[in-house]
Amino acid sequence: MNMAFKNVLVISDNIYVFKRFFEIIRNKDLPNCHFSYSISPFSDKNQFNISGEIEILTIDLKNKKDIEFICKEFDLLLSVHCRQIFPPDLVNRVKCINIHPGYNPVNRGWYPQVFSIINKLPVGATIHEIDEKLDHGGIIVRELVEKETVDTSKSLYKKIVDKEMELVEAWIEKIIKNEYSVTVPEEEGKLYSKQDFYKLLKLDLNEMVSAGDFIDRLRALTFEGFDNAYFVDPETGKKIFVEIRLKMSTDI
């Protein structure tokens, strides 16, 4: 019989997702499990200290001392939109589980909703064990979300996070009690990097492309609050940022 996890470290770099995750855990009855919370060195600790009610640690997964600290103090590490790579020395010694905003193995890596729109791929949410490869380990649970023609990167991302939190709500107790099984991904899938994303940002004004593909690219790169897609003004040499607004009619 598998032993339940007693000391859990949560590491996150996304305040929006972190707050929603924290509320779920706070409302769960998990008396025999202690949760600690942490961020990466490049995140702002003050943002994550919700009303001063929890201590936020700073964990650097490139630091051997921090790795040793985790291995000594915790038996489960939960990645909740953590932006650090989990090194082999950690994942081979402590159970590590990732909440991923993509449908593995289709959407491995960065910004799954972006590449889902551009490459016309399904998208969803996955909770999986972490191994030595990015978004690659055994799948605990995954579900698709509906991608609509009017979705931008931001609206689709919100749907994905909603699905992630649904899965956390339904599965966190099974995970903590170590009462789950995993499914091996059907294939390696496609891994998307930050560099793959950056290559999409600059628009070539002379590129020959269908209207549909161009709209999809703008949809994929439109995320309110971020300047993503741009072209270079031929007169000034400055970047001109581009977004798209989509609205479905109410007519049948």
Q: Which of 34, 81, 100, 136 is catalytic?
A: 100
Q: Per-residue pLDDT for 107 more than 90?
A: no
Other C-beta atoms closer than 10 Å to the C-beta of 22 total: 19
**Can 100 be counted among the known catalytic residues?**
yes
* DSSP per-residue letters across the chain: -PPPP-EEEEEES-HHHHHHHHHHHHTS--TT-EEEEEE-TTS-HHHHSGGG-S-EEE--TT-HHHHHHHHHH-SEEEEES--SPPPHHHHTTSEEEEEESS-TTTTEES-HHHHHHHTT---EEEEEE--SSTT-S-EEEEEE----TT--HHHHHHHHHHHHHHHHHHHHHHHHTT----B--SS---EE-HHHHHHHHB--TT----HHHHHHHHHHH--TT----EEE-TTT--EEE--------S--
Q: Per-residue pLDDT for 243 more than 90?
A: yes
Q: Per-residue pLDDT for 76 more than 70?
A: yes
- From CA 87, how far away is CA 91, in angstroms rounded? 7
Amino acid at 176: I
- From CA 58, how far away is CA 229, in angstroms rounded? 33
- pLDDT at position 210, please? 96
Q: How confident is the model at residue 252 (pLDDT cuts 50, 70, 90)?
A: low
Please state the pTM of the whole predicted model: 0.93
Q: How confident is the model at residue 203 (pLDDT cuts 50, 70, 90)?
A: very high
Residue 47, SS3 per DSSP:
helix
Q: How confident is the model at residue 1 (pLDDT cuts 50, 70, 90)?
A: low
The answer for residues whose C-beta is within 8 angstroms of residue 47's C-beta and 6 or more apart is 15
Q: How confident is the model at residue 188 (pLDDT cuts 50, 70, 90)?
A: confident
Amino acid at 219: R
Q: How confident is the model at residue 53 (pLDDT cuts 50, 70, 90)?
A: confident
The domain spans of the chain are 7-192, 194-241
- Secondary structure letter of residue 236 according to DSSP: T
CATH fold of 7-192, please?
Rossmann fold (3.40.50)
Overall residue count recorded for the chain in this entry: 252
pLDDT tens by residue, 85-104 = 999 999 999 999 999 999 99
- pLDDT at position 2, please? 76
- From CA 166, how far away is CA 172, in angstroms rounded? 10
The answer for residues whose C-beta is within 8 angstroms of residue 1's C-beta and 6 or more apart is none
Average per-residue pLDDT in the chain? 94
Residue 239, SS3 per DSSP:
strand
Q: How confident is the model at residue 251 (pLDDT cuts 50, 70, 90)?
A: confident
